[in-house]
Amino acid sequence: MPVPSVRYRNNLQLSQPANGGAGSSERRAIRFVVCKEGVRVRVEIVAFKERFWEDEGKIASLLLVPGEKVFVREMADRGFQPLELTVVALDATPPILPATVVKAPSVEVVSVVQRQSKAPGFVVTLRNISSKDINEVEIRKSRSRMGMGIQSAQDFLSRPVLLSGRTREVFIPTTGFAANGHEDFTPSPPDPLEVAGVVFADKSYEGDVMSAARYLAKLRGHRIQTEHVLEILEETQGIMDQATALGFMEGKTIALSRDAPADQFFEFLTELEFSAISPDANLNLKTYFEVGLHEVRYDLLNEIRRCAMAPNRDFAGWLSRTKKKYEAWRSRV
């Protein structure tokens, strides 16, 4: 992963799977958070659960200089194969902008500019030339074999991200491969950027069907889980003591399932005519459906825990505002 004037020998976007440990069936992986600090480079290695990208904590934080090698033994303590990392200095090169391809007629690419900072990449400016608001835009690095091959612009609460006639900047992190040398790397040209598809606020879409299907699957998960959340909030109305009410809510929320109900998932595929997609694609959509369930559950748990940190707040007012939030979320999905 490149940073200004520096390139890494290891592909730091690579996720290395590891078992969840005895009695656990969850797959775990690692990711790298990288930024430049003066002449050195900070590399943080974080473990996470693959299913919902839930952090398990930091494995190591390294501050390296070009030419320095480090063997990350701490990874073995967390069930991962240790890696050797090396930072190699490169001469600055003129920016090479990626080519762009647009598969959604309602979107045009206004500009692509390189951004050099602690998180280098490209800023793509998009314009919505349709008469409808857009809720999601999917941008792909069309040659990418890496985990960041898809970059979506979407709002966590399912609100429009690109209003009719307006523009929006989307940051695309610089990733990609380099030619392996003995002591250094020659950066490869950036992957072409493809605006693969968009989903409008009315849930119609343009472009790649799988781009739309992934987002719509997540929205269906949002719809189902917001209904469950509203039921929990309704049940909490009669509990006057804040600590008791929050404990009740937290227990009910933790118990919410993040597994896609078979009947409702099949209904989603049939209703949106995605049932003809291959079994592998259906499994991918099931993952996004379950991410939608997870996101709403995760959001309510955060709301509950923030409320618990302010024990003297107007609890009835908080409960009313929280209910309105999820009612509005439910109406959008």
Nearest to 12 by CA among 1, 23, 2: 1
Domain boundary among 206, 230, 259: 206
Residue 302 pLDDT grade (very low, low, confident, very high; cuts 50, 70, 90): very high
Question: pTM for this structure?
Answer: 0.74
Task: Give me the pLDDT at residue 107, please.
Answer: 95
240 has a pLDDT exceeding 90: no
Domain count, the chain: 3
Q: Poorest-confidence range of 23-37, 44-58, 163-177, 202-216? A: 23-37
Per DSSP bridges, beta strands 40-49 and 28-37 are antiparallel
Task: Give me the pLDDT at residue 3, please.
Answer: 33
| Statement to judge: residues 76 and 148 lie in one domain | no
Dihedrals phi, psi of 35, to nearest 5 degrees: -155, 160
CB–CB of 26/50 below 8 Å? Answer: yes
| Statement to judge: residues 104 and 85 lie in one domain | no
Average pLDDT along the chain: 79
In a domain, 262, yes or no: yes
Domain with 314 in it? 214-332
In a domain, 130, yes or no: yes
Task: Give me the pLDDT at residue 10, please.
Answer: 33
Residue 91 pLDDT grade (very low, low, confident, very high; cuts 50, 70, 90): low
Q: Poorest-confidence range of 96-110, 146-160, 207-221, 306-320? A: 146-160
Residue 146 pLDDT grade (very low, low, confident, very high; cuts 50, 70, 90): very low
| Statement to judge: residues 237 and 191 lie in one domain | no
Nearest to 323 by CA among 201, 230, 184: 230
| Statement to judge: residues 201 and 218 lie in one domain | no
Task: Give me the pLDDT at residue 147, please.
Answer: 33
Report the pLDDT averaged over residues 183-212: 81
Nearest to 219 by CA among 147, 267, 268: 268
22 has a pLDDT exceeding 90: no
| Statement to judge: residues 244 and 326 lie in one domain | yes
| Statement to judge: residues 75 and 127 lie in one domain | no
Task: Give me the pLDDT at residue 94, please.
Answer: 56
In a domain, 185, yes or no: yes
Domain boundary among 89, 121, 139: 89
Q: Poorest-confidence range of 36-40, 53-57, 120-124, 202-206? A: 53-57
Task: Give me the pLDDT at residue 200, please.
Answer: 94
| Statement to judge: residues 193 and 231 lie in one domain | no
C-alpha 28: how far from chain center: 16
Per DSSP bridges, beta strands 84-89 and 100-102 are unpaired
| Statement to judge: residues 300 and 220 lie in one domain | yes
Per DSSP bridges, beta strands 193-200 and 100-102 are parallel
Residue 145 pLDDT grade (very low, low, confident, very high; cuts 50, 70, 90): very low
Distances (CA, A) of 274 to 96, 228, 279, 289, 333: 38, 25, 11, 13, 18
Task: Give me the pLDDT at residue 87, please.
Answer: 72
In a domain, 94, yes or no: no
Task: Give me the pLDDT at residue 274, please.
Answer: 61
Domain boundary among 89, 109, 144: 89
Residue 260 pLDDT grade (very low, low, confident, very high; cuts 50, 70, 90): very high
Report the pLDDT averaged over residues 60-76: 85
283 compared with 299, residue with greater pLDDT: 299
Dihedrals phi, psi of 247, to nearest 5 degrees: -65, -40
Task: Give me the pLDDT at residue 116, please.
Answer: 65
Dihedrals phi, psi of 214, to nearest 5 degrees: -60, -45
